[in-house]
């Protein structure tokens, strides 16, 4: 199996590497969102595994305990926790990355309160809070310290500065390689589809990073042989998409997704950890200051990031894809669309979208995407 | 859900009402109007003015020679009560915002974007010179950024560190043991932020913060909130219920906006004395009270008359809501020589405490309710978790009916349908 196929397999069967690690006697720490310092988990000798939802898994168990109107990907994660899909996790770190993710932390506690038969892995809340102020940085530093202590308790060994520095080096290498992958998409013509890009990037979060780096290096060596992607170049903005269903739909309409503002996409490889100085300080600074967290970034920052990224990816158009009950990015959308228009980049917006698409949803979306793509093709010819 | 039998056909023959509006509630409402008018004049004359979320320390502004401050949620309720929410949300939609935007916090924004004071209630909100909120919701960052843009002023955000899922029986500990209940690391951060706010206000307004005044304010507040506790306890134990929920809401909230002043202490005492007199005389919302109901969630600001319908139809009285209860259980702080830290502990998790299922159950038991009606706004993340309130109350023997509606947006309120739901709930689950 070639490197791309291997990464694709890990994206589609996300627990393969973690299960293998467990069989070898290792312990797996699940974490939610990209706001958790995975480098620290690795430095503790544990397997960092980013958990995600799954549109095909339904929400029947979640529906018994929670309302329907919050981030559907988080609802899906809860359903998977309740139905045993994540039983292989030894521990779980939940960062205060968004309201919905914080709710998940509270829900796990309350579910156990109303139904003590429900058990979950031991939890730790990483309280990353919101702003980039210096005072907040002090608080985040304390949170990094608390996470360190918890991981040491779980692993039974100290996280040394040298172990963390090594994990940072591995993680930064991964980000640098992923930036080369992003460049393949930004080139004209693009040499990678959006679906393939999601598979490459997403697999990085469910595999051991060193192994992923080897696969990426192998893959990039053969990159010159990759076929050109001829579709209309599109950039995706909006909700974090932890699956490829929308990308598959869009790319079946003579389009290629050349970039996105998503923590499951190109944004994941932004902002490497500063390798100089104290590694714990560097981790605290990176997770406190990195600017690209959509739910806490200002509209102005989100507009700038969207426009810059779309231009860098040489996108001909932008599609906003916003899940229902994911309000924060929806507040950015009117200003983002306006700023893109000012730069001559047309956009199409899909609001209040379902996490699990029905056939009817697909048909409607496809029709609109095709129309949008056709208008962009026409524009290009003129 | 099918309509319950006899909807609307018993209103003329139901239990006799014996409720006269509370004088203290009317006086508080009148005072609020006068205060607002005065604030408009002061701001016009060049004084600073702050628009803030309700879970922020307005005491700081009071301790700086009384800088006028208005709460977003109060303003939202006023716009809603004037039946203007539909107009403003339609305008938001015209500007490209999603249909399901958060209503409660976004209504003042919708109003601000329009910049049409003549259309606004009470002659319009003065132009703020500062915005203040804690970031207890992802959307606050966005709403306040847009407000700052609309008003061309600064937004001062407080962090919102994550609360613990639950602190057992916090309502019995907060007054004295607030450090332990809230957590030192959280208070350290909030105290630093509060000091930064004070410095910012001193620099930007030229006014001096008075520690002595803050001490006095904290004492006055404790005195006032003790009255609220007496009122809450009195209403909870009195059968039949002496004060309608509508009156409770009006009196409590208008008095709370002025907490920390001698006026508020005096009028809360008046509120207590009036309730006591009613209880002593046996005056009641319904002489023939049959059912006691609890209202869970925010007040139904666009239709506070809703509660009366069930009094007339079934002798079902809404006896309590979170507003008076949190005044009794969530505000009093013995500061142990550190008023700023005690103040920080008052506001930071107030919203979280309000939605604590264990506290809600405790209040349901205290009032001896037969059931609870819980309003759930699907556009607000704060409503996520209400199902646990339902589960905990029902495990505790209190049936709960969730109704899905917004407290400030009347456009989606289906009056007959919701009355039918509540009627059916009363008939099938609450009647003895």
Asked if residue B11 is part of any domain, the answer here is no
pLDDT at B224: 98
In this prediction, residues B300-320 reach a mean pLDDT of: 90
- Selected for mutation to probe chain B from A105, A113, A296, A320 (highest B CB count within 10 Å) is A113
Q: Bridge partners of A256?
A: A233
HEC states along chain B?
A: CCCCCCCCCCCCCCCCECCCCCHHHHHHHHHHHHHHHHHHHHHHCCCCCEEECCCCCCHHHHCCCCCCEEEHHHHHHHHHHCCCHHHHHHHHHHCCCCCCCCCCCCHHHHHHHHCCCCCCHHHCCCCCCEEEEECCCHHHHHHHHHHHHHHCCEEEEECCCCCCCCCCCHHHCHHHHHHHHHCHHHHHHHHHHHHHHHHHHHHHHCCCCCHHHHHHHHHHHHHHHHHHHHHHHHHHHCCCCCCCHHHHHHHHHHHHCCCCCHHHHHHHHHHHHHHHHHHHHCCCCECCCCEEEEEECCCCCCCCCHHHHHHHHHCEEEEECHHHHHHHHHCCCCCCCCHHHHHHHHHCCHHHHHCCHHHHHHHHHHHCCCEEEEEECCCCHHHCCHHHHHHHHHHCCCCEEEEECCCCCHHHCCHHHHHHHHHHHHHHHHCC
A contacts of B391 (beta carbons < 8 Å):
65, 114
In this prediction, residues B322-335 reach a mean pLDDT of: 97
Asked if residue B338 is part of any domain, the answer here is yes
Asked if residue B79 is part of any domain, the answer here is yes
Residue in B135, B196, B376 closest to A130 by CB = B135
pLDDT in tens, B261-309: 999 999 999 999 999 999 999 999 999 999 999 999 988 877 878 888 9
Last residue of a domain, one of A159, A184, A205: A159
Are residues A189 and A133 part of one domain?
A: no
B contacts of A298 (beta carbons < 8 Å):
141-142, 145
Are residues A193 and A300 part of one domain?
A: yes
pLDDT at B95: 87
Asked if residue A109 is part of any domain, the answer here is yes
Are residues A112 and A256 part of one domain?
A: no
Are residues A293 and A219 part of one domain?
A: yes
Residue in A103, A135, A139 closest to B385 by CB = A103
Range of the domain at A146: 14-159
pLDDT in tens, B43-91: 999 999 999 999 999 999 999 999 999 999 899 989 988 888 888 988 8
Are residues A174 and A148 part of one domain?
A: no
State the smallest CA–CA distance between residue B405 and chain A in angstroms.
13
Are residues A218 and A169 part of one domain?
A: yes
Asked if residue B76 is part of any domain, the answer here is yes
Asked if residue A134 is part of any domain, the answer here is yes
Asked if residue A3 is part of any domain, the answer here is no
A261-297: b (≥16 Cβ within 10 Å) or e: bbbbbbbbbbebbbeeeebbebbbbbbbebebbbbbb
Residue A267's CATH number:
3.40.50.11900
Average pLDDT in chain A: 96
pLDDT at B18: 47
Q: Could you say which residues of chain A have pLDDT below 50?
A: none
Contact B57, B96 (CB under 8 A): no
Range of the domain at B263: 23-430
Q: Assess whether pLDDT exceeds 80 at residue B8.
A: no
Are residues A271 and A170 part of one domain?
A: yes
Nearest Cα to B222, choosing from B128, B343, B52? B343
pLDDT in tens, B260-269: 999 999 999 9
Percent of chain A at pLDDT > 70 equals 99
How big is the A-B interface in CB pairs under 8 Å? 132
Q: Assess whether pLDDT exceeds 50 at residue B391.
A: yes
pLDDT at A381: 64
Domain count, chain B: 1
Asked if residue A6 is part of any domain, the answer here is no
A contacts of B101 (beta carbons < 8 Å):
327, 330-331
pLDDT at A55: 97
**What confidence category does residue B17 fall into, taking pLDDT thresholds of 50, 70 and 90?**
low
Asked if residue B267 is part of any domain, the answer here is yes
Are residues A58 and A141 part of one domain?
A: yes
Asked if residue A215 is part of any domain, the answer here is yes
Asked if residue A9 is part of any domain, the answer here is no
Contact A54, A44 (CB under 8 A): no
CB pair distance less than 8 Å for A127 and B162: yes
Asked if residue A68 is part of any domain, the answer here is yes
In this prediction, residues B177-197 reach a mean pLDDT of: 97
Q: B99: number of CA atoms within 13 Å, CB side?
A: 7
CA dist B409 and B105 (Å) reads 11
Residue A132's CATH number:
3.40.50.11890
Residue in B141, B189, B378 closest to A298 by CB = B141
Are residues A128 and A168 part of one domain?
A: no
Asked if residue B231 is part of any domain, the answer here is yes
pLDDT at A382: 61
Asked if residue A2 is part of any domain, the answer here is no
Last residue of a domain, one of A124, A142, A159: A159
Nearest CA in chain B to A139: B189
Last residue of a domain, one of A159, A178, A196: A159
Are residues A197 and A154 part of one domain?
A: no
Asked if residue B15 is part of any domain, the answer here is no
Percent of chain B at pLDDT > 70 equals 95
Predicted complex ipTM exceeds 0.85: yes
pLDDT at B7: 27
Q: A202: number of CA atoms within 13 Å, CB side?
A: 25
pLDDT at B54: 92
Average pLDDT in chain B: 91
**What confidence category does residue B12 fall into, taking pLDDT thresholds of 50, 70 and 90?**
very low
Nearest Cα to A301, choosing from A327, A329, A264, A277? A329
Are residues A116 and A237 part of one domain?
A: no
Are residues A358 and A232 part of one domain?
A: yes
Domain count, chain A: 2
pLDDT at A292: 65
């Amino acid at each position: 199996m070639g490197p791309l196929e291997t990464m694709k397999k890990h994206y589609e069967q996300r627990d393969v590497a973690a299960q293998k690690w467990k069989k070898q006697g290792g312990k797996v720490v699940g974490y939610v969102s990209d706001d958790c310092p995975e480098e620290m988990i690795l430095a503790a000798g544990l397997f960092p595994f980013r958990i995600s939802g799954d549109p095909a898994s339904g929400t029947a168990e979640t529906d018994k305990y929670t309302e329907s109107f919050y981030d559907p990907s988080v609802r899906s994660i809860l359903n998977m926790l309740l139905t045993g899909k994540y039983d292989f996790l030894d521990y779980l770190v939940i960062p205060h990355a968004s309201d919905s993710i914080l709710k998940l932390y509270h829900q796990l506690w309350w579910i156990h309160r109303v139904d003590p038969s429900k058990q979950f892995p031991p939890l730790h809340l990483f309280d990353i809070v919101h702003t980039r102020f210096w005072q907040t940085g002090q608080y985040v530093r304390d949170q990094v310290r608390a996470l360190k202590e918890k991981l040491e308790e779980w692993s039974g060994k100290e996280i040394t500065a040298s172990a963390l520095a090594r994990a940072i080096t591995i993680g930064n290498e991964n980000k640098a390689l992923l930036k080369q992958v992003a460049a393949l998409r930004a080139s004209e013509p693009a040499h990678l589809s959006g679906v393939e890009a999601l598979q490459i990037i997403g697999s990085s979060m469910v595999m051991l990073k060193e192994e992923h780096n080897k696969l990426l290096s192998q893959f990039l060596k053969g990159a010159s042989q990759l076929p050109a992607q001829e579709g209309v170049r599109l950039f995706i903005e909006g909700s974090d998409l932890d699956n490829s269903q929308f990308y598959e739909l869009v790319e079946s309409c003579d389009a290629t997704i050349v970039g996105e503002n998503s923590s499951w996409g190109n944004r994941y490889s932004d902002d490497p950890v500063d390798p100089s100085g104290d590694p714990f300080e560097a981790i605290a600074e990176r997770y406190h200051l990195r600017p690209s967290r959509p739910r806490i970034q200002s509209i102005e920052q989100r507009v700038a990031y969207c426009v810059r990224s779309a231009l860098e990816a040489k996108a001909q158009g932008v599609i906003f894809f916003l899940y229902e009950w994911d309000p924060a990015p929806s507040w950015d959308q009117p200003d983002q669309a306006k700023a893109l228009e000012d730069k001559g980049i047309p956009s199409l917006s899909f609001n209040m979208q379902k996490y699990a698409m029905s056939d009817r949803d697909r048909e409607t979306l496809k029709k609109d995407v095709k129309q949008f793509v056709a208008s962009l093709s026409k524009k290009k010819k003129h | 859900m099918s309509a319950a039998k006899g909807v609307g056909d018993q209103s003329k023959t139901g239990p006799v009402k014996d409720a006269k509006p509370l004088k203290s509630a009317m006086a508080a409402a009148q005072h609020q109007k006068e205060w607002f008018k005065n604030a408009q004049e002061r701001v016009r004359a060049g004084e600073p003015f702050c628009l803030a979320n309700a879970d922020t320390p307005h005491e700081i502004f009071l301790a700086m020679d009384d800088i006028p401050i208005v709460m977003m949620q109060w303003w939202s309720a006023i716009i809603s009560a004037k039946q203007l929410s539909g107009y403003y949300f339609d305008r938001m939609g015209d500007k490209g915002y999603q249909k399901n935007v958060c209503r409660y916090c976004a209504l003042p924004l919708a109003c601000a974007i329009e910049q049409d004071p003549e259309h606004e209630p009470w002659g319009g909100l003065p132009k703020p010179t500062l915005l203040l909120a804690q970031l207890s919701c992802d959307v606050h960052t966005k709403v306040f950024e847009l407000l700052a843009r609309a008003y061309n002023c600064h937004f001062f955000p407080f962090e919102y560190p994550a609360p613990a899922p639950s602190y057992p029986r916090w309502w019995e500990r907060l007054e004295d043991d607030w450090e332990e209940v809230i957590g030192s690391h959280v208070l350290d951060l909030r105290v630093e932020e509060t000091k930064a706010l004070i410095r910012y206000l001193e620099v930007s307004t030229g006014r001096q913060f008075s520690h002595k005044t803050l001490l006095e304010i904290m004492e006055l507040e404790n005195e006032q909130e003790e009255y609220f506790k007496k009122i809450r306890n009195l209403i909870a134990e009195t059968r039949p219920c002496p004060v309608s929920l509508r009156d409770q809401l009006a009196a409590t909230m208008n008095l709370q906006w002025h907490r920390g002043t001698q006026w508020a202490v005096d009028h809360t005492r008046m509120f207590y004395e009036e309730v006591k007199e009613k209880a002593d005389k046996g005056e009641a919302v319904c002489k023939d009270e049959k059912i006691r109901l609890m209202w869970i969630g925010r007040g139904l600001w666009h239709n506070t008359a809703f509660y009366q319908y069930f009094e007339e139809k079934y002798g079902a009285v809404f006896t309590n809501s979170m507003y008076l209860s949190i005044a009794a259980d969530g505000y009093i702080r013995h500061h142990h020589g550190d008023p700023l830290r005690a103040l920080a502990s008052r506001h930071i998790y107030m919203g979280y405490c309000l939605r604590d299922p264990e506290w809600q159950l405790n209040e349901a038991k205290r009032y001896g309710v037969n059931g609870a009606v819980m309003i759930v706004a699907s556009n607000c993340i704060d409503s996520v978790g209400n199902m646990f309130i339902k589960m905990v109350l029902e495990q505790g023997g209190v049936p709960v009916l969730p109704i899905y509606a917004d407290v400030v947006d009347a456009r989606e309120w289906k009056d007959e349908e919701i009355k039918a739901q509540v009627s059916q709930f009363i008939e099938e689950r609450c009647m003895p």
